[in-house]
């Protein structure tokens, strides 16, 4: 089965071609350089750049896959959530291709795509039940799946997402967007020396990160006033922030283990590229669970990409075929 997938929900124009679970091409035009000067994603600019880049991304994805257009069996695209004007561009391109090639159209959820990215090119399958988490710039969510595509939302952030928190802290420190990779690099030279608030919201699976973000901001402002925002202080603060985020996430994962049967943990989203965070969760699973496998997307499939939409479509098609 050959799937052409399109992702345009935010600031990446991405097209992938998959043969079942194998990625034949995954071409992404990133807008990071253009968006960086605004400290975040400007929707109008994102839409303009999707239109500018779409044709060359499509051409490159087709060429790299070495697949003839007539061999494509399905067209998949990100339906939601995301920036509406950007999603509409992906939808129109997908509908046009589906009409032109006379192939079925598969609409996909971006967040489900992030979770299914951990199955891309994997020889192993999830064992159910699965505890899944999307940790991205726009979302921090925990899901429970008893079977494929059966998403039960356990909890989510009530304010900022983890990625958003990292992006903002990077800006407070005078660095660029996206902040996650910046904080990860700074943290490598720091230590966990700054106590930061652990917002756990004990009774629920929901998260809250805005208080943590504000606490970090206050520390930065105080150190600036004291003329003491040294390289070492910045590195230590970055490390402490990562540590605190990892601890909060692991607290919720642990809560889920206490209350539910879980055989697999699957993580997805841009922040999952962070090795400190995933190592911390991996260590928890090794120490406190028996044989629970952690599924992570390869680093290149953590941030937004069309291959994750393609793999989600693959499982959706397989489920529909099974039902018939
Ligand atoms: O999944 P994604 O590409 O877009 C959304 O759907 O939001 O995630 C983007 C987020 C940004 O907040 C970015 O700072 C974060 O992922 N990110 C990271 C790393 N790489 C990207 N966070 C922590 N460590 C990283 N290495
Ligand atoms: Zn995303």
Domains annotated on the chain, with CATH: 2-116+301-323 (3.30.420.40), 123-297 (3.30.420.40)
**Cis-peptide, bond into residue 43, ω within 30° of zero:** no
Tokens encoding 219: 């520390």
Q: What is the pLDDT of residue 33?
A: 86
Which one, of 53, 54, 50, lies nearest residue 41 by Cα? 50
- Is the Cβ–Cβ distance between 87 and 266 less than 8 Å? no
Ligand 1, pocket residues at CB < 6 Å? 10, 136-138, 163, 166-167, 178-181, 184, 269-271, 273-274, 303-304
Please return the burial class of 152, using the count of CB atoms within 10 Å of its CB with bins 0-12, 13-18 and 19+.
exposed
Distance 6 CA to ligand 1 centre (A): 19
Question: What per-residue confidence (pLDDT) applies to 290?
Answer: 85
Alpha carbon of 114 to ligand 2 centroid (Å): 6
pLDDT at 202: 82
Question: Which DSSP category does 173 fall into?
Answer: T
Task: Give the pLDDT score at 39.
Answer: 78
Report which DSSP code applies to 249. Answer: H
From 31, 118, 163, mutation site for ligand 1 pocket: most ligand atoms within 8 A of C-beta:
163
pLDDT tens profile 264-310: 999 999 999 999 999 999 999 999 998 899 999 999 999 999 999 99
Q: Whose CA is nearest to atom 16 of ligand 1?
A: 270
Task: Say if CB 293 and CB 124 are below 8 A apart.
Answer: yes
Closest ligand (CA of 277) = 1
Query: Do 106 and 310 contact (CB within 8 A), yes or no?
Result: no
Res 67: pLDDT: 96
Q: Residue 2 phi/psi, 5° resolution? A: -105, 125
pLDDT less than 50: residues of the chain: none
Burial class (CB in 10 A: 0-12, 13-18, 19+), 78: buried
What letter does residue 207 receive in the DSSP assignment? B
- The DSSP code for 227 is T
């Amino acid at each position: 089965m050959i799937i052409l997938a399109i992702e345009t929900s935010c600031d990446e124009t991405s097209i992938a071609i998959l043969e079942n679970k194998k990625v034949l091409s995954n071409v992404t035009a990133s807008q990071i350089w253009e968006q960086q000067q605004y400290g975040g994603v400007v929707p109008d600019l994102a839409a303009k750049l999707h239109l500018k880049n779409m044709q060359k991304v499509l051409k490159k994805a087709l060429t790299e896959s070495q697949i003839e257009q007539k061999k494509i069996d399905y067209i998949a695209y990100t339906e939601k959530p995301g920036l509406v004007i950007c999603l509409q561009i992906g939808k129109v391109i997908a509908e046009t291709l589906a009409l032109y090639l006379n192939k079925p159209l598969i609409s996909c959820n971006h967040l489900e795509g992030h979770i299914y990215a951990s199955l891309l090119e994997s020889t192993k399958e999830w064992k159910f039940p699965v505890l899944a988490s999307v940790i991205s710039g726009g979302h921090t969510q925990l899901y429970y799946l008893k079977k494929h595509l059966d998403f039960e939302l356990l909890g989510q952030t009530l304010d900022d997402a983890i990625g958003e928190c990292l992006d903002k802290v990077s800006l407070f420190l005078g660095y660029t967007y996206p902040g996650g990779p910046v904080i990860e690099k700074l943290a490598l030279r720091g230590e966990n020396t700054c106590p930061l608030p652990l917002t756990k919201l004990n009774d629920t699976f929901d998260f809250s990160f805005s208080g943590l973000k504000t606490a970090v901001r206050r520390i930065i402002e105080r150190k600036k006033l004291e003329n003491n925002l040294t390289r070492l202080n910045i590195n230590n603060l970055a490390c402490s922030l990562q540590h605190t985020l990892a601890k909060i996430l692991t607290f919720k994962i642990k809560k889920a283990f206490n209350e539910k049967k879980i055989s697999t943990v699957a993580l997805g989203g841009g922040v999952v590229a962070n090795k400190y965070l995933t190592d911390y969760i991996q260590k928890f699973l090794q120490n406190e669970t028996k044989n629970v496998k952690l599924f992570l997307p390869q680093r290149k499939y953590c941030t937004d990409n069309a291959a994750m939409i393609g793999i989600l479509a693959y499982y959706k098609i397989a489920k529909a075929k099974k039902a018939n």
